């Protein structure tokens, strides 16, 4: 029996409590139907009118952790993505790694001339006869939806670059030039509608359908290192200094040697390595 008739979402708005959302989120990260139903039932019973969605998130993650630690870590992905940013773990560097794993040759932070202006491009990604002009737009809060103004700005910049003959300048006349806008959050309906109309590609949370950012991460185990709960600020700065972006990078280190080289305690690395093994093995 659900006590909560409504919850408060990340934008501070009321919305109906959804048994289905809780159930679906648990199932998505690997919970069985029985466990997901049990979690949704308990959350529904314990929830109260006006409960915040982040409290529900914590309850679900805690119950998953007791039963399936790997599922709890996967459930933490969206929060982990918000911990990537312009400082610390640069979002565009992480996205560059994802494109590289898809077989693209990636160049980050490129200065590219257009017809009217010169632009700093987050990344160029080339594969076969396709060259992407890539822009990353990072959001550090759940409500930070990417709206159509960003899509419009990205299109204007792309058109100027295209008219500046970037392909001819670089001897790439045979390539197809396309624009792609990437975010760690969601796109608004108008941003999607405009980009479809303009022929530009989008990559974000749950977009494209069944091919969104979270899908690519899950499919190839490209979890950011921020997915690991034991990564505190001190260790985060250490891994940044070594250019280590992915959870899988933790399993490549020699903990004794790494601790000596980076001036951290070996003990602080043990829980991080344990979590990475649970997530990836």
In this prediction, residue 183 carries a pLDDT of 95
Is 3 or 278 the better-scoring residue by pLDDT? 278
In this prediction, residue 272 carries a pLDDT of 95
Asked whether the beta carbons of 77 and 42 are under 8 A apart, the reply is no
Q: Is the pLDDT of residue 178 over 80?
A: yes
- Tokens 């990205």 sit at which residue? 154
In this prediction, residue 84 carries a pLDDT of 81
In this prediction, residue 230 carries a pLDDT of 93
CA dihedral 219, 223, 228, 232 (to 10 degrees): -170
Is 244 or 173 the better-scoring residue by pLDDT? 244
Q: Is the pLDDT of residue 130 over 90?
A: yes
Domains, the chain, ranges and CATH?
6-70 (no CATH), 91-220 (3.40.1350.10), 223-280 (1.10.150.20)
**DSSP category for residue 124:** E
In this prediction, residue 156 carries a pLDDT of 96
For 20-57, write each residue's pLDDT tens digit: 999 999 999 999 999 999 999 999 999 898 899 989 99
- The C-alpha atoms of residue 241 and residue 275 are separated, in whole angstroms, by 21
- The C-alpha atoms of residue 204 and residue 217 are separated, in whole angstroms, by 11
For 197-254, write each residue's pLDDT tens digit: 999 999 999 999 989 999 999 999 999 999 999 998 888 888 888 888 899 999 999 9
For 143-163, write each residue's pLDDT tens digit: 789 999 999 999 999 999 999
Whole-Å CA distances, 145 to 6, 10, 15, 154, 190 = 22, 11, 17, 16, 11
Average pLDDT over residues 10-18: 85
In this prediction, residue 193 carries a pLDDT of 97
Q: Which stretch of 78-82, 130-134, 185-189, 222-226 has the lowest confidence by average pLDDT?
A: 78-82
* pTM exceeds 0.85: yes
Nearest-10 crossing angle of helices 53-67, 33-46: 140
In this prediction, residue 11 carries a pLDDT of 74
Average pLDDT over residues 97-103: 92
- The C-alpha atoms of residue 184 and residue 203 are separated, in whole angstroms, by 8
In this prediction, residue 8 carries a pLDDT of 87
Buried b (16+ CB within 10 A) or exposed e, 246-275: bbbebeebebeebbeebebeeebbeebbeb
**DSSP category for residue 223:** -
Beta pairing class for 201-203 and 176-183: parallel
Is 214 or 87 the better-scoring residue by pLDDT? 214
Residue 166 pLDDT class (50, 70, 90 cuts): confident
In this prediction, residue 86 carries a pLDDT of 60
Sheet holding 14-16, edge to edge: 14-16, 6-8, 51-52
Whose CA is closest to 278, among 65, 102, 129? 65
- Tokens 């929830």 sit at which residue? 47
**DSSP category for residue 224:** B
Residue 89 pLDDT class (50, 70, 90 cuts): low
Q: CA angle at residue 44 from 41 to 46, to 5 degrees?
A: 110
Q: Is the pLDDT of residue 88 over 70?
A: no
């Amino acid at each position: 029996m659900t006590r909560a008739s409504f919850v408060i979402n990340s934008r501070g708005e009321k919305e109906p409590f959804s048994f289905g959302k809780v159930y679906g989120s648990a199932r998505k990260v690997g919970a069985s139907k029985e466990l997901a139903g049990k979690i949704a039932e308990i959350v529904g019973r314990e929830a109260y009118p006006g409960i915040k969605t982040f409290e529900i998130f914590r309850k679900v993650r805690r119950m998953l952790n007791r039963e399936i630690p790997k599922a709890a870590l996967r459930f933490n992905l969206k929060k982990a993505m918000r911990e990537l940013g312009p400082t610390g773990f640069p979002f565009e560097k992480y996205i560059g790694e994802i494109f590289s794993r898809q077989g693209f040759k990636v160049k980050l932070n490129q200065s590219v001339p257009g017809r009217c202006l010169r632009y700093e491009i987050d990344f160029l990604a080339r594969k076969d006869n396709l060259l992407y002009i890539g822009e990353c737009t990072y959001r550090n809060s759940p409500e930070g939806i990417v709206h159509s103004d960003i899509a419009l700005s990205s299109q204007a910049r792309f058109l100027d670059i295209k008219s500046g003959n970037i392909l001819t300048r670089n001897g790439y006349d045979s390539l197809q030039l396309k624009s792609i806008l990437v975010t760690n959050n969601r796109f608004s309906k108008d941003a999607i509608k405009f980009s479809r109309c303009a022929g530009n590609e989008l990559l974000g949370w749950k977009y494209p359908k069944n091919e969104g950012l979270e899908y690519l991460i899950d499919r190839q185990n490209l979890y950011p290192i921020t997915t690991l709960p034991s990564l505190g600020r001190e260790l985060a700065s250490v891994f940044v200094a070594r250019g280590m972006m992915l959870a899988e990078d933790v399993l490549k280190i020699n903990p004794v040697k790494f601790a000596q080289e980076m001036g951290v305690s070996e003990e602080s690395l043990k829980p991080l390595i344990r979590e990475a093994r649970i997530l990836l093995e």
